[in-house]
Structure 1
Amino acid sequence: MPHLLRRPLLPLVALALVLAACSGSDSGGASSSDGSSGTSTTTAPASTTAAPAATTTTVPTGVAAGAVAPGKAVRSSGCDTADGAKLSLAKQPIGDGRFYLISTPGGDGDTPRPLVLDLHGLLEGAQIHSQMSGFGPYSQEHGFVAVFPHGSGKPVKWDVGLDRKANPDLVYLDAVLDEVEARHCIDTSRVYATGLSYGAIMSSTLACVMGDRIAAIAPVAGLTVPEGCKPSRPIPVLTFHGTADPILLFNGGVANLSGLLGGSDEKTEPPKADLNGKGYPAAAAAWAKLDGCTGEPTDQDLTASVIQRTWECPADSPVEFDIEVGAGHSWPGSEFSKGIANIVGPTDDTIDGTDFIWKFFQRFQLPAT
């Protein structure tokens, strides 16, 4: 499929270094910073230009058609031995020099908890990304486990190749899930993946090759349909992208960041977004096709500045593309993201992305085997 990943990394590495300076002491001791990633492009459907005309229906946050109530939990091996301790972004070494962060809500150790994998962007790292999304404290408040894997290489990133046995990052993520499920009481039918930028691309990869473990995905600013993606089953998808993303452009490609990173006061405005054009609108349409959705998409007002795009999909595998009108390369509602607006552009504050993603995830679990 022509939804190719293009990775001109050098300007994005430079961006990440700027973000490292912006994060300062708030990084929790992390030595790496926020970054971005490659992007996806697709063949374009017929286009119309994107002035965000208001539509007639407002959809309440966290509600969409075809909701599926979770069934019986599938208990992991850790349910027999877990002590139920509360962990707050605890660093857990795994394998040869790798680690992940984990937050748990605490409890009796015998209640199976859902698990959310939250994947960082290029050079961002697990510690800083945990501040970006806020899934650590949010998971403790809402009774699930949040895991922040840390990528590989320098700069830290993800290998987004589709070979599950040969890709070391996929091997690592399988090992992380194995370990967490053995140490904690996890509902293995309710494991989900989200991420920002390069982490969004990696969560897309997980949907392609780990449909046996991942119940649903929610990529933020970087949904991709990699060439050769063949999910083992239809995967529920929620994705966000800002029309004014100055880094991964809404209609595909990576921006020229030389003015931004060179300290110039003159900022290049992103091109006017075509809501029905190539790039991320086409990537969402491609996922809808993979999931068996039909017909033309329907746009509704989710908030005053977010357009919810959906298709006629099977109830257990919807695709939802939330278009953030005027937003940049940011996590919806993130205070951390707002603090680096000079780099990533505006953050939409009409929606709490973390809360919205969790409400979406709660509707789905792996099919019974």
Structure 2
Amino acid sequence: MAMIAAFWAVPAAAKGCTLGAVGQTVQLRIGDTGRAAMLHLPAGFSRARPAPLVLLLHGSGGTGAAMLENSRLAKAADDHGFIVLAPDAGIPLEKGYVWNIPGVPTVSGRIPGPGDADDVAFLGKAIDWLAANRCIDTSRVYATGLSGGGRMTSWLGCVATDRFAAIAPVVGLRAGNPLASDKRVPDPATCRPSRPLPVIAFAGDADGTNPIQGGGAGYWQYTMATALRRWADLDLCRTGPVQRDLTDKLYEVRYASCRAGTEVTGRITRGAGHVWAADNDAMWTFFARYRRR
């Protein structure tokens, strides 16, 4: 216990966040976990004032470093003043890492077992560690991720709801595992959020890996529309779905008048495939409306 306390202790003289370099990205180890993550403190960050946090989760076979670079979320962080943490997942592959979503096979085809890393617990420790180091506002913690990271983001919404103010899966929205007896619908037993949760999801209608029309791999199957509707049911939304064009290439499906002021929204880019289909500024605009109560 003494070793853990030493890892997590904050110097008594510290007046605020002492991690990282303002306006830069650094790799660090998270507390006593031994796990790596990329931390970006935004330009203009005040060490005396905790900032919002966005967890950025890479896709299957990826790394936090590559995800941070490819998403360009660090620029949005500099523009809007939030911290980004992009960790590596807990299950190593020959190349990169995959997230442990219980009961769901990874891209290798193997279902994670009890000996695999508990990624939900790790991400919770990462949040706690940043909070202990006086870096983040724990009422303003958000999660996003690409593909397998989007599915992991969805899983966090299902099982770790109390840690997040909102989530934004990218080409990876789920609302629980496919039901064993009918994979066209989610299994309600595998997604039981403890409170209403705002959700914005991004996707492309030409995605052949996680198609919005459903099908694909065994972990996918049901449609994006079904996932949105299930989150709307969980949030007790009273209106929607309402679909509208935002541009000639982008449309939105929205459920509103939801419990506790939440909202469930999908933004689909016409012609986009299995890529980072998110508008980072639009994502942050959505996140910034919500605090964890």
TM-score, with length taken from structure 2: 0.78
Q: In the alignment, is residue 304 of structure 1 matched against residue 248 of structure 2?
A: yes
What secondary structure is seen at the aligned counterpart in 2 of 1:299? strand
- Residue of structure 2 in register with 1:324 after alignment: 269
1:91 to 13, 27, 33: 27
Structure 2 matches for 1:194-213, cutoff 5 A? 194-213=144-163
What secondary structure is seen at the aligned counterpart in 1 of 2:36? strand
Q: In the alignment, is residue 241 of structure 1 matched against residue 203 of structure 2?
A: yes
List per-residue Cα deviations over 1:235-285 (Å, max 9, x = no partner): 000001111102112211227xxxxxxxxxxxxxxxxxxxxx951111111
Compute the RMSD of aligned alpha carbons: 2.3
* Residues in 2 aligned to 1:81 and 1:111: alpha-carbon distance in whole angstroms: 7
What secondary structure is seen at the aligned counterpart in 1 of 2:26? strand
Give the residue type in structure 1 aligned to 2:24.
S
- Residue of structure 2 in register with 1:20 after alignment: none
Unaligned runs of 5+ in 1: 1-76, 256-276, 333-351
CA contact (8 A) 2:53 2:141 kept: yes
CA contact (8 A) 1:291 1:313 kept: no
List per-residue Cα deviations over 1:103-138 (Å, max 9, x = no partner): 002543111210000100001111111122111232
- Residue of structure 2 in register with 1:225 after alignment: 175
State the 1:209 CA deviation.
Answer: 1.6
CA contact (8 A) 1:158 1:199 kept: yes
What secondary structure is seen at the aligned counterpart in 2 of 1:364? coil
- Residue of structure 1 in register with 2:279 after alignment: 353
TM-score, with length taken from structure 1: 0.63
Greater share of strand residues, 1 or 2? 2
List per-residue Cα deviations over 1:277-310 (Å, max 9, x = no partner): 9511111111111111134411111111111111
State the 1:145 CA deviation.
Answer: 0.5
CA contact (8 A) 2:168 2:201 kept: yes
CA contact (8 A) 2:16 2:49 kept: no
* Residues in 2 aligned to 1:168 and 1:364: alpha-carbon distance in whole angstroms: 27
Give the residue type in structure 2 aligned to 1:86.
V
What secondary structure is seen at the aligned counterpart in 1 of 2:153? helix
- Residue of structure 2 in register with 1:82 after alignment: 17
* Residues in 2 aligned to 1:107 and 1:361: alpha-carbon distance in whole angstroms: 18
Give the residue type in structure 2 aligned to 1:129.
M
2:139 to 186, 189, 192: 189
CA contact (8 A) 2:40 2:85 kept: yes
- Residue of structure 1 in register with 2:179 after alignment: none
- Residue of structure 2 in register with 1:43 after alignment: none
* Residues in 2 aligned to 1:97 and 1:231: alpha-carbon distance in whole angstroms: 29
What secondary structure is seen at the aligned counterpart in 2 of 1:212? helix
Higher RCO (C-alpha 8 Å, min separation 6): 1
CA contact (8 A) 1:103 1:137 kept: no
State the 1:231 CA deviation.
Answer: 0.5
Give the residue type in structure 1 aligned to 2:66.
I
* Residues in 1 aligned to 2:175 and 2:132: alpha-carbon distance in whole angstroms: 31
* Residues in 2 aligned to 1:82 and 1:222: alpha-carbon distance in whole angstroms: 33
Give the residue type in structure 2 aligned to 1:149.
P
- Residue of structure 1 in register with 2:228 after alignment: 284
* Residues in 2 aligned to 1:107 and 1:278: alpha-carbon distance in whole angstroms: 41
Structure 2 matches for 1:1-369, cutoff 5 A? 80-83=15-18, 85-86=21-22, 88-94=24-30, 95=32, 97-105=34-42, 106-155=44-93, 156-161=97-102, 168-226=118-176, 227=187, 228-254=190-216, 278-314=222-258, 316-332=261-277, 353-367=279-293
- Residue of structure 2 in register with 1:342 after alignment: none
Give the residue type in structure 2 aligned to 1:195.
G
State the 1:80 CA deviation.
Answer: 3.8
Count of matched residue pairs? 248
CA contact (8 A) 1:161 1:205 kept: no
Unaligned runs of 5+ in 2: 1-9, 104-113, 177-186
Give the residue type in structure 2 aligned to 1:147.
L
* Residues in 2 aligned to 1:96 and 1:179: alpha-carbon distance in whole angstroms: 10
Q: Quickly say closer, same or farther: Cα 1:107–1:307, change in 2 above 3 A.
A: closer
Give the residue type in structure 1 aligned to 2:282.
F
* Residues in 1 aligned to 2:195 and 2:73: alpha-carbon distance in whole angstroms: 27
CA contact (8 A) 2:256 2:262 kept: no
CA contact (8 A) 1:82 1:109 kept: yes
State the 1:161 CA deviation.
Answer: 2.6
* Residues in 2 aligned to 1:138 and 1:243: alpha-carbon distance in whole angstroms: 25
